[in-house]
């Protein structure tokens, strides 16, 4: 597989999306740090390429399903930035009407069907969505985004098996950032072999550099083509790394665990800088980068202003839009 086939325009669009995710999350991180809001936020700073590249390979009516670290997926799939910021501020203008916060986001109009912080919870739901599409005879694809920790849940294995037996149009995207909360992969598994799970269940499986946007995009396009053609599911492992702690704005720290040596290496593999260097080789000038940066800052500041000015749900309405057993 090669990332050399992307045009300058395609790569520029991917660059812009990654920068939108990065600046959006850095701004939210500052707001949390300054205690303006106390919403628990799991940032994907450093991991922007998988959501960006995979969502760029999808259509609006393809569905995506995520977990607790999903701001990037929402934005990359075309979700409205103002509504995401407002949701994180728990305002009634938020994408989940202020009931969900950072971890329960949706934008069904562009296929962001739901994110759930129960680890692995949405993997079987993505399979169900793919089954529905197959039964309806449509060619829409569903994508399940999850972390390496989720592959240790039974849901993951059951979902892979069911999808493979029925050749469903679903793509399993494992963003392997080598940590589940504060626990490194070798504290949890005997082997660093997530792709083997796909092989065991009979799925085509690949492991890709998740910080190289060109490779991410190319691998996603292949998987989407297979799914649309009726050739069934694919499991893709994207190797990447988060720069912040598991939850919250702090740099690289979880319950006292720091990963200094690892992060030094991963900072050098910044997916945005990598993309910037590729664009430079394609002739993009500094003035163009400056223009994108200015647009993105303006968009994020507008979203922040919108969230701050939006009302909170009133106490009398707080049970509206909430499902409860009768």
Ligand X SMILES: Cc1ncc(C[n+]2csc(CCOP(=O)(O)OP(=O)(O)O)c2C)c(N)n1
- Under 8 Å between Cβ of 52 and 21: yes
> What three-state secondary structure class fits 175?
strand
Q: Is residue 179 close enough to count as binding ligand X by CB under 6 A? A: yes
Q: Is residue 148 close enough to count as binding Mg ion by CB under 5 A? A: yes
- Under 8 Å between Cβ of 28 and 85: yes
- Under 8 Å between Cβ of 272 and 18: yes
Q: Is residue 246 close enough to count as binding ligand X by CB under 6 A? A: yes
Q: Is residue 66 close enough to count as binding Mg ion by CB under 5 A? A: no
> Whole-angstrom Cα distance, residue 125 to residue 115?
11
Question: How far lies 186's CA from each of 128, 210, 299, in Å?
Answer: 32, 19, 40
Number of residues that bind ligand X (CB under 6 A): 15
Q: Pick one of 20, 22, 68, 244: the residue that binds ligand X (CB under 6 A).
A: 68
CA atoms 227, 132, 80, 26: torsion sign: negative
The pattern of x and - marking residues 113 through 152 that bind ligand X according to CB under 6 A reads ----xxx--------------------------xxxxx--
Q: Is residue 177 close enough to count as binding ligand X by CB under 6 A? A: yes
- Under 8 Å between Cβ of 216 and 54: yes
Other beta carbons within 10 angstroms of residue 138's beta carbon come to 12
Residue 157 CB, nearest distance to Mg ion (Å)? 17
Residue 149 CB, nearest distance to ligand X (Å)? 3
Label residues 293-308 b or e (16+ Cβ within 10 Å = b): eeebeeebeebbebbe
Dihedral, CA of residue 112, residue 113, residue 119 and residue 120, to nearest 10: -110
Q: Pick one of 101, 147, 169, 245: the residue that binds Mg ion (CB under 5 A).
A: 147
Question: How far lies 87's CA from each of 76, 92, 98, 189, 320, in Å?
Answer: 17, 8, 5, 36, 16
Based on CB atoms, which residue is closest to ligand X, 46 or 233? 46
Q: Pick one of 52, 93, 177, 212: the residue that binds Mg ion (CB under 5 A).
A: 177
Based on CB atoms, which residue is closest to ligand X, 195 or 313? 195
Residue 71 CB, nearest distance to ligand X (Å)? 12
Q: 165 Cβ partners below 8 Å, 6+ apart? A: none
Residue 180 CB, nearest distance to ligand X (Å)? 4
Q: 85 Cβ partners below 8 Å, 6+ apart? A: 24, 28, 303, 304, 306, 307
Q: Which helix (H) or strand (E) holds 55?
A: helix 49-56
Kindly identify the residues of this chain, within the stretch 262-281, that bind ligand X according to CB under 6 A.
none
Residue 173 CB, nearest distance to ligand X (Å)? 12
The item of Mg ion, ligand X, none sharing an interface with residue 181, based on CB under 5 to 8 Å by kind, is ligand X
The item of Mg ion, ligand X, none sharing an interface with residue 313, based on CB under 5 to 8 Å by kind, is none
Based on CB atoms, which residue is closest to Mg ion, 179 or 243? 179
Name the residue number minimizing CB distance to Mg ion: 147
Residue 288 CB, nearest distance to ligand X (Å)? 32
DSSP letter at 244? B
The item of ligand X, Mg ion, none sharing an interface with residue 162, based on CB under 5 to 8 Å by kind, is none
The pattern of x and - marking residues 104 through 143 that bind Mg ion according to CB under 5 A reads ----------------------------------------
**Which residues of this protein are in contact with ligand X, per CB under 6 A?**
68-69, 117-119, 146-150, 177, 179-181, 246
**Which residues of this protein are in contact with Mg ion, per CB under 5 A?**
147-148, 177, 179-180
């Amino acid at each position: 597989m090669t990332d050399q086939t992307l045009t300058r325009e395609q790569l520029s669009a991917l660059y812009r999306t990654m920068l939108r995710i990065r600046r959006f999350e850095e701004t939210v991180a500052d707001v949390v740090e300054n205690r303006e809001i106390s919403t628990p936020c799991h940032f994907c700073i450093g991991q922007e390429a998988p959501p960006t590249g995979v969502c760029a390979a999808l259509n609006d009516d393809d569905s995506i399903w995520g977990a607790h670290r999903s701001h990037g997926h929402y934005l990359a799939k075309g979700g409205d930035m103002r509504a995401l910021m407002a949701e994180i501020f728990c305002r009634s203008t938020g994408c989940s009407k202020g009931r969900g916060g950072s971890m329960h986001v949706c934008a069904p109009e562009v296929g962001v069907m739901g994110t759930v912080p129960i680890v692995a919870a949405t993997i079987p739901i993505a399979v169900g969505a793919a089954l529905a599409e197959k039964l309806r005879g449509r060619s829409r694809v569903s994508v399940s985004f999850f972390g390496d920790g989720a592959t240790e849940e039974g849901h993951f294995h059951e979902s892979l098996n069911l999808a493979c037996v029925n050749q469903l149009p679903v793509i399993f995207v494992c963003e392997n950032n080598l940590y589940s909360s504060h626990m490194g992969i070798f504290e949890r598994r005997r082997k660093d072999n997530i792709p083997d799970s796909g092989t065991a269940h009979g799925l085509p499986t690949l492991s890709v550099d998740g910080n190289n946007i060109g490779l991410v995009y190319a691998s996603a396009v292949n998987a989407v083509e297979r799914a649309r053609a009726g050739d069934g599911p694919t499991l893709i492992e994207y190797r990447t790394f988060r720069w912040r702690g598991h939850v919250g704005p702090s740099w690289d720290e979880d319950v006292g665990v720091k990963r200094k040596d690892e992060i030094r290496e991963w900072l050098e593999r910044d997916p945005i800088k990598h993309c910037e260097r590729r664009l430079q080789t394609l002739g993009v000038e500094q003035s163009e980068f400056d223009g994108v940066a200015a647009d993105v800052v303006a968009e994020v500041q507008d979203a922040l202003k919108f969230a701050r000015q939006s009302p909170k749900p009133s106490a009398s309405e707080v049970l509206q839009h909430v499902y409860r057993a009768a």
